[in-house]
Each structure stands twice: as C-alpha cells, then as structure tokens.
Amino acid sequence: MKKIINVPVIIIGAGPAGTAAALELARRNVPVTILNRDRFPGENNICGGALSHSLKEKLEIPSEIIDQEINSVDIHYKQHRQTVGSAHPQFLSVKRNLFDLFLAKKAVAAGANLQNLFDVRRIDPEIGRVYGRNTDTGENFAYQSDLIIFADGPNTLGWSTYGIGFDRSQYYFVAIDYELDSFEHGLNEFKFYLEQEHLPAGYFWVFPKKNIINVGVGSHCKRGDSVYYHRLLKDFIGREPSLKHLTVVKKRGGVIPAVPARKFVARGAMVVGDAAGLVNPLTGGGLIHALKSGEIAGKVAALAHRKKRFSERFLYLYTLRLKCTPHYIWIRFLYVIAKFHLHRSNQRKTGFLEPLLVTYFYLMKFVFRVYKKL
C-alpha cells in the first residue's frame, strides 16, 4: 500500500507563482507542501529573466541574485531603432534558476515544505489526492489535501483534472533561448528585434547577464515546430556581429500561454501564473503576473483553510480579487487588441505582432518621459 501524506495545501510547481503562494500560506501558519519535479526550483524554466526594478525592494532581492540593473530597452525594426529608458534603472536582469531558488528558500524559511524530484503521475479530483513518484529514490507515495494550487506552467494538470487553467488548444508562444558565453560583453540594455520577413508573429531578444548573454526567440502559434525555431535563432545569432562568435553553453525550449484562462478555480483547486495563462500576450512576459496571482491565491487559500471552506463558490474570491488587479486588466486589454489584429492579419496574410509591439514600446517611451518629469 502506498504511503499517504496528509497536508492541508499542496502546490504543484516551484516557480515564482507557486512559491509566492506558499510564502503567503506559510506566513499565516498554514502547512503547505510544494511539489517540484526538478532537482531544484528554476532548473529548466524558459525565460529571459527580466524583472521590474520595483521588485528589488519589494522582494528584498540580494545583490548576488541580480546580474545587471538595466536602464533602457532597445527595439529594432526594419531600419529603425527606438530606445526606451531613463537615467535610473528600470529593470533587473537575473538568471531564473537563481531567482526561483531564492524565492523558494524564502518560502521554506517561512515554514513551507519543498519536495524536489517529485513527479506527479495522477490526481484524483474527487478526494484531492496527488499520486506521484520520487525520481531519486523511486518511492511511490501520495499526498492528501484539502486544496491543490496548480502552478505547473502551460501544460498544467489543472486543465485535464479540474477543467481550470490554460487550454493548450489555444494560442501560445513557442520560446527558445540560448545562453552564450561572454565575459566582457559590455551590454547594458535589453534588446528586441522585430524581423517580419523572418518572424511575422514574433521577435528575437538579447538580454545581458553576468558573464553570459541570453538570446532567444518567441513566436505566437497554435502548433509549434521546435526544429524550425532553433534554426531561426541560430540564423539570427549568425547575422549579429556581436553574437556570432560566441559559444553556446545552454539551450532551452518550451511554450508560453498567449491566452488567459477562462476559469481559475474549482472545488478544492486553484490555478496561478503561467498555468492560468497570466502572461502579457504581446511580449510573453509573465513574472510579475505570476508573483501577483500567487500572492492572491495564497491569501485566499489561507482564508479557506481557516474557515474550512473549499467549495468553488468560496474559492471564487480568488478570481474576483485577481480580476480587479491592474495586472489582469492589462493582460485582458492587450489580449483583446492582439486577438483583433491577429484576425485582421490572417485576412490580409500579413504579420500582426510588429506594429503592435512598436506601438507598445512607444507607449512605454511616453510613460518613461512622464516619469522623468515627476
């Protein structure tokens, strides 16, 4: 008979959304266990690692986690180049593995339990039981809980078991990134390249880190061909004089949701972060939305635990609070615009993302100009 471990709240996934939820629960003295399939949090996450500078103080991010403080963003399109920035740092450049590990350690220090190398095999939604296997020891056991929070990314088990979260039949980004070895790259800005002739529904990025450069490609699609996007990224690196002689030290790939979920809760279950489709549908950025949704979910889960109420109706409080945030309103606004332009571009057989991203960056430029005058 399999060993069954009872814990009030289970979080599947140890990314920023999952650990943010765990931190809120642990701070409220609610026993919570995070199930992570990798050796450590952030081991295989696909992300450029760009954060708003405001998170440095809010999360108390130590200097060793920050690779660079970034003042500006460059956008290259056709023969043009636009720079958005200010005299003060606006962004942080971090390595996701170190950042995710930092967040997980904060949650553990507050009282959360982290179970690494746990491969979830099956979930019984009727009784709230998670079956899995420790990939290190080979031991099979199960967790029994009152509430499961799905923070397991775009391939979330929440969709297949509870009907909540991101539906992979919807549009998503295919994202591929390479880490290039570069000890003295001299870069101090994030760069985006819109090349409609090569990538009509996406962009390339160049994000500097400490001793490396993260270079990637992201594109909207319904069915992704990873070989095709690897080839596009290699060709892009070969076209860039500052990149083409650098050595690739790591390659990663994955998908990123481009459509917010229709449903966020069910009886005994909630979904957060990428698993909930909470991603900027133009850029594919989702870290700030992951942290916010995890924070709200953790607070609502703690309230549900205290009141012993895990019905869908009670947990809908999470949906209400989430939809009232500027983060969610912004995602929905951009999604409606992107969907409209995608429909028009399909009719005209033209690329749709380039004009949207150019407009988006012009808006950022306006905001920074106003900010500098305040």
**pLDDT tens column, 76-104:** 887 778 787 777 888 899 988 899 999 99
Residue-level pLDDT at 272: 98
Distance (Å, rounded) from C-alpha 166 to C-alpha 286? Answer: 14
Residue-level pLDDT at 361: 65
Considering the domain boundaries, does residue 357 fall inside one?
A: no
**Whether this model's pTM surpasses 0.85:** yes
More confident residue, 7 or 346: 7
State pLDDT tens for residues 135-158. Answer: 999 999 999 999 999 999 999 999
Query: In the predicted model, what is the mean pLDDT of the chain?
Result: 88
Considering the domain boundaries, does residue 363 fall inside one?
A: no
Instruction: Calculate mean pLDDT across residues 219-223.
Output: 70
Considering the domain boundaries, does residue 310 fall inside one?
A: yes
Minimum mean pLDDT range among 28-37, 49-58, 177-186, 350-359: 350-359
Q: In Å, what is the CA distance from 320 to each residue of 24, 216, 302?
A: 18, 35, 16
Query: Is residue 374 over pLDDT 50?
Result: no
Cβ proximity of 153 and 274 under 8 Å: yes
Q: What is the CATH number of the domain that holds 46?
A: 3.50.50.60
Query: Is residue 179 over pLDDT 90?
Result: yes
Of the candidates 63, 102, 69, the residue with the CA atom closest to the CA atom of residue 86 = 69
* pLDDT-derived band at 42, boundaries 50, 70, 90: confident
Written as one letter, the residue type at 118 is F
Q: What are the DSSP E strand ranges found in 195-273?
A: 202-208, 212-221, 247-257, 265-266, 269-271
Cβ proximity of 119 and 132 under 8 Å: yes
Query: Which structural domain range is residue 175 located in?
Result: 3-329
Cβ proximity of 28 and 16 under 8 Å: no
Considering the domain boundaries, does residue 138 fall inside one?
A: yes
Query: Is residue 347 over pLDDT 60?
Result: no
Considering the domain boundaries, does residue 221 fall inside one?
A: yes
Residue-level pLDDT at 373: 43
Considering the domain boundaries, does residue 318 fall inside one?
A: yes
Tally of domains within the chain: 1
Considering the domain boundaries, does residue 335 fall inside one?
A: no
State pLDDT tens for residues 266-299. Answer: 999 999 999 999 998 888 888 999 999 999 999 9
Cβ proximity of 218 and 256 under 8 Å: yes
Considering the domain boundaries, does residue 350 fall inside one?
A: no
